[in-house]
Each structure stands twice: as C-alpha cells, then as structure tokens.
Homo-oligomer: A and B are copies of this chain.
Amino acid sequence: MTLSPPVVGILGGMGPAATVDFYRKLVEATPAGTDQEHLPVVIWSDPRVPDRTAALVGDGEDPTPVLRAGVTGLAAAGVRLLAVACNTAHAFVPPLAAEAGLELVSIIDVTARQLAATLPAGATVGLLATEGTVTSRLYHDACAAVGLTVLAPEPAEQARVTAAIAAVKAGTADASGAAALAEVLGTLRDAGAEAAIAGCTEIVLALAAGTDTDTDAVLPVVDPADLLAHEVVRRARELRPDPADAMS
C-alpha cells in the first residue's frame, strides 16, 4: 500500500481555541458520511508564536521564526495546501508558504472575494479585528482590489474589540464582550458599513459568548474562518477528487 500524505496543513495555535473552532468548521464543511470520506489533515498548533499585533504596531518580537518552524514542519509532513487559522498572521505567512513550496489558501483573499460577490460595487465593510490586522491593512488592501472600502473602528472602539479578543484567549469571554462588539457594529453601521468582517478568529467566539446579543440584527457579520473552511474543502477535492484514490 502506498499512502499519500495528508493534503491539508493547518497552522494554528493563534490561539488554540480558534484552532479548535476552525478544524470543527472544516469537518462540518466536508460532505462525508463516514470517517474515511473526511480530509486527511495535519494541524501544527504551536501557541509559542509571539504576539502578531505587538510586532506589527510596536516593537514586539518578530513571530516569523516560530511561524516558519510550523510551516516547515507541515511541509515536511507532506501537505500541499496551507490554511492559517489566524487573520493577523497573514501579514507574515505568504513568503513563508512560498519558500516552503506550499499553496496558501488565504483567509483574507477568500473573504474579500466572497464580499465582492455578495455586496453592491463600492460598498463599505466594517472590520472587527486585532490592531495588528487593522494596522497592516490586510483587509483594506484585499477589499480595495475588489472595489470595496474597509472601515475600521475609531481608537476607543478598537480598544473594546481588542479587549473582547483578549477575553477569548484568556478563557474569560462572557456576554459583556459580545454586547460591546454589538455596540461597535452599530457605530460601524451608522458610519455607512453594509456588512462587517469578523476579522480575527476569536471574534466569532466572542460573539457566541453573548447568547442574548443578536449581532446579525445590527449588521450582517461574515466569518472568514467559515469561508476559509469551505474554500479549503473545495481546493483539496480539486487536488484529489476521490479520497479513496489515495489508498490504492
């Protein structure tokens, strides 16, 4: 028997709870009735990656060496597609994927394409993300390329977003964080946003901690991790349409 290596590599750990959530979304996005019909996956979840935002907005340690170790480890395992379960890390990952010979399925690009397909041309999109993602203009640039304008919160509102993300990472997310995010969404809507990007893998978890907060009633929120999961399934199946083929 020749067993091909797993096709999909997930670089996670940023943070671990968001990695659990992303893998769950990938499993749920896979049309499968038995174990054997699911995608073979290797997940490299090393949370020792230094804080991405601290490196982007201040003088924090460069996360590149730890990110490179993960990308290299996944490449050594034989994967071909790379999915990174952290929006902010996309400010660092594209050259690392290229040097390892992996095809990056970018959470940023997938999201920008999906928004362009569903919103009117020239629409404004709100952004809930880390300061690092906002400062790096990852979503600003990707959305501009498809004719959309990104609107990030003002500094005082951004601080509330940052606090909600930190609470998820600390395991202390509660309804107050979700309520704060709902208010930020309201401000973005009032400023002209027609939808918002949950542009940090922890944002969806923060929103879920508020069972009484229906943020979609405030502004439709797009989950990039969910879009990425579906795109990874689609690309993996293109590479190997029938999982059983790999067994022969």
Residues on A facing B (Cβ under 8 Å):
1, 3, 5-6, 13-17, 19-20, 23-24, 27-28, 30, 32-51, 65-66, 69, 73, 76-78, 169-171, 243, 246-247
Copies in the complex: 2
A36-B48, A38-B16, A49-B35 in contact; A3/B65 too (CB < 8 A)? yes
**Separation of A61 and B247 alpha carbons in the complex (Å):** 12
A6-B46, A42-B42, A170-B33 in contact; A17/B13 too (CB < 8 A)? no
A23-B23, A169-B35, A243-B48 in contact; A73/B3 too (CB < 8 A)? no
Q: List 25 A-B contacts (CB under 8 A).
A: A3-B66, A6-B45, A13-B38, A15-B35, A16-B23, A16-B27, A16-B41, A17-B27, A20-B27, A23-B23, A23-B45, A28-B171, A33-B169, A34-B170, A35-B49, A35-B51, A35-B169, A36-B48, A40-B45, A40-B46, A40-B47, A42-B43, A43-B43, A44-B77, A48-B243
- Contact check, B20 vs A35: say whether CB atoms are below 8 A apart: no
Question: Closest residue of chain B to A166, judged by CB?
Answer: B34
**Separation of A35 and B247 alpha carbons in the complex (Å):** 37
Minimum C-beta distance from A54 to chain B (A)? 11
**Separation of A99 and B99 alpha carbons in the complex (Å):** 33
Chain B residues near A51 (CB, 8 Å)?
35-36
**Separation of A78 and B47 alpha carbons in the complex (Å):** 16
- Contact check, A14 vs B32: say whether CB atoms are below 8 A apart: no
Question: Closest residue of chain B to A243, judged by CB?
Answer: B48
- Contact check, A1 vs B65: say whether CB atoms are below 8 A apart: yes
Partner of A45, one of B42, B46, B243: B42
**Separation of A105 and B36 alpha carbons in the complex (Å):** 25
Chain B residues near A50 (CB, 8 Å)?
36
Partner of A169, one of B34, B42, B73: B34
Minimum C-beta distance from A167 to chain B (A)? 11
Chain B residues near A5 (CB, 8 Å)?
73
Chain B residues near A76 (CB, 8 Å)?
76-77
Minimum C-beta distance from A33 to chain B (A)? 5
Chain B residues near A171 (CB, 8 Å)?
28, 32-33
**Separation of A185 and B46 alpha carbons in the complex (Å):** 40
**Separation of A48 and B20 alpha carbons in the complex (Å):** 21
